[in-house]
Amino acid sequence: MRPLRIGWLIAAIAVSALPFAYPLLHPDLVGGPLPGAAGVAGMLGALAMWWQVLLGARQVSRWLSADRGRIMAVHAWLGAGGAFFVFLHPLLEMTADRHDLTYLVLIDFTWVESTYTSLGRLALMMFLVLWLSSTLLRAAARHGLWQRVHYLSYPLVALVFLHAYGIGTFLVELPWLRAYWLVLAGTFAVVAAWRLLSPLLAPRYRLAAVERVSAGVTVYRLVSRGRRIRPLPGQFCHLRVATLARSHPFSVVYADEATGELVFAIKDAGPFTARLRELPVGATVRVDGPYGAFTREAQLDDGPVVLVAGGIGVTPFVDLAARHPDAALYHAVRHPEEAVFAYDLAHRLGPRYVPAPAPDRLTAARVTRDATEDTAYFVCGSPGFVASMVRDLRAHGVPARRLFIERFEW
């Protein structure tokens, strides 16, 4: 699949919002400009959340693009824009009806209209928790907690659809807009159902071999039990040790097209990697993927390529570096256990593999020494390593269009 063109996706989002502009041009349908603006703000906030759910479900968004990084960039952009409309909607409603601040939190299920209004208030409270966990509290929250909080988006969006349909506003006056709203609601239901079912449908692999290659890195070899996936060099997959357990993403080191064997090199990092190490040979592992288009340009481009890896972030490059005739691989190793595949890479690449021990940190001056204007740079590693290297490369004049990054997160 070709990388996603962000322009096309932004255009699709804009077009999907156009139907909600109609009530603004006909304020008489909803009792005036302010009530109309309040209703439209709510609809646009709901639409932004609908798109976020669609793009956030990797099992669904993969059909738009394998480029997960760009998908999530749009997802984050929608979160910022959607939050504005979500918070604006109740404030405008409160102003239009001349209520005080208790209007925002009053829960009342005594009659039909108050029930549907209260569903909206519950959705607002859930959205506030979601928004706080993604902004002000993101640095303090563990990734697992952050991910579990994000599951609130599914009941949240369901409440929003029920709230708007029950209240009615201009959905009652405009049957075609009500039909559009129901299509969005139906699509959301399908995406939510697929998101829940996808773990049951992920391909099953057998753990064929486990090899401890250093003090902190283990190599796992998986063989298909039936349906196979075919990742390209640099792509990653989500591994799950039980059907309903939480999955974790890891880059594929090797993928044997003939046998279907997949190889992962995984650094010790928390409870999940500890559970992986405890699995016996022969155990079943669910593999969801492949995802990512990080190194696609390197596979298609015949020009010179510079690969810059930080520690275990070398895994997306192991197979790619051997396949690409002009790839130079720079590998910054802070700890000896991160020098995984160093011997193999040195044997296969010769002088094109350049390890850099901790005292000799990689710099942009070093990796750009033999580069040309057509050189493409691929940087993978921890968030701190990637941020530092990218800043250095940009300071040395590497254009953004020739720079590709992937942060190696657990």
pLDDT single digits (tens) 115-126: 999 999 999 999
Total domains, the chain: 3
Q: Domain limits at 326?
A: 296-407
Residues 45 and 40: their CA atoms lie apart, in Å, by: 8
198 with 288: CB under 8 angstroms? yes
Q: Is the pLDDT of residue 409 over 70?
A: no
pLDDT at 203: 92
Residues 210 and 189 in one domain: no
pTM, entire model = 0.81
Q: In whole angstroms, how far apart are CA 80 and each of 73, 148, 287, 303, 389?
A: 11, 20, 32, 38, 27
pLDDT at 206: 95
Q: What are phi and psi of 289, to 5 degrees?
A: 155, -160
pLDDT at 1: 45
**Domain boundary at 291, 313, 342, which?**
291
Predicted confidence band of residue 325 (pLDDT cuts 50, 70, 90): confident
| Mean pLDDT, residues 60-72 | 79
Residues 73 and 191 in one domain: yes
Residues 58 and 141 in one domain: yes
Within a domain: residue 1? no
Of the spans 133-142, 150-159, 239-248, which averages the highest pLDDT? 150-159
pLDDT tens-digit map of 85-125: 999 999 998 888 888 888 888 888 888 888 999 999 999 99
Residues 30 and 120 in one domain: yes
Predicted confidence band of residue 147 (pLDDT cuts 50, 70, 90): confident
SS3 labels along the chain:
CCCCCHHHHHHHHHHHHHHHHHHHHCHHHHCCHHHHHHHHHHHHHHHHHHHHHHHHCHHHHCCCCCCHHHHHHHHHHHHHHHHHHHHHHHHHHHHHCCCCHHHHCCCCCCCHHHHHHHHHHHHHHHHHHHHHHHCCCCCCCCHHHHHHHHCCHHHHHHHHHHHHHHHCCHHHHCHHHHHHHHHHHHHHHHHHHHHHHHHHHCCEEEEEEEEECCCCEEEEEEEECCCCCCCCCCCEEEEECCCCCCCEEEECCEECCCCCCEEEEEECCCHHHHHHHHCCCCCEEEEEEEECCCCHHHHHCCCCEEEEEEHHHHHHHHHHHHHCCCEEEEEEECCHHHCCCHHHHHHHHHHHEEEEECCCCCCHHHHCCCCCCCCEEEEEECHHHHHHHHHHHHHCCCCHHHEEEEECCC
| Mean pLDDT, residues 382-397 | 87
pLDDT at 283: 94
pLDDT at 138: 67
Paired tokens of 34: 């302010």
- The percentage of the chain sitting over the pLDDT mark of 90, rounded to a whole number, equals 28
Task: Read off the CATH number of the domain in which 63 is found.
Answer: 1.20.120
226 with 204: CB under 8 angstroms? yes
| Mean pLDDT, residues 387-409 | 84
Residues 81 and 227 in one domain: no
Predicted confidence band of residue 156 (pLDDT cuts 50, 70, 90): very high
pLDDT tens-digit map of 294-313: 887 777 666 788 999 888 88
Q: Which residues contact 78 (CB under 8 A, 6 or more apart)?
A: 13, 48, 49, 51, 52, 55
What pairing do the DSSP bridges indicate for beta strands 353-357 and 327-333?
parallel
pLDDT at 16: 95
Within a domain: residue 190? yes
CA count, 13 A, side-chain hemisphere, 104: 16
When computed from its CA atoms, the radius of gyration of the chain, rounded to whole angstroms, is 25
Torsion of CA 136, 71, 385, 402, to 10 degrees: -140
Task: Read off the CATH number of the domain in which 378 is found.
Answer: 3.40.50.80
Compare 220 and 336 and report the one with higher pLDDT: 220
Task: Tell me which residue of 230, 256, 288, 245 sits closest to 68, measured CA to CA.
Answer: 288
Q: Is the pLDDT of residue 323 over 70?
A: yes
Within a domain: residue 364? yes
Which residues pair with residue 328 across a beta bridge?
Answer: 306
Mean pLDDT rounded to a whole number for the chain: 85
**Domain boundary at 200, 215, 231, which?**
200
pLDDT tens-digit map of 223-253: 998 889 888 888 899 999 987 788 888 989 8
377 with 308: CB under 8 angstroms? yes
Residues 70 and 272: their CA atoms lie apart, in Å, by: 27
Predicted confidence band of residue 186 (pLDDT cuts 50, 70, 90): very high
- B/e letters for 172-203, b = 16+ CB within 10 Å, e = fewer, are eebeebbebbeebbeebeebbeebeebbeebb
pLDDT at 204: 93
How long a stretch of residues is the chain? 410
Q: Is the pLDDT of residue 3 over 60?
A: no
Q: Which residues contact 79 (CB under 8 A, 6 or more apart)?
A: 48, 52, 131, 134
Residues 125 and 165 in one domain: yes
Other Cβ atoms less than 10 A from the Cβ of 395: the count is 10
| Mean pLDDT, residues 53-68 | 83
**Domain boundary at 291, 326, 345, which?**
291
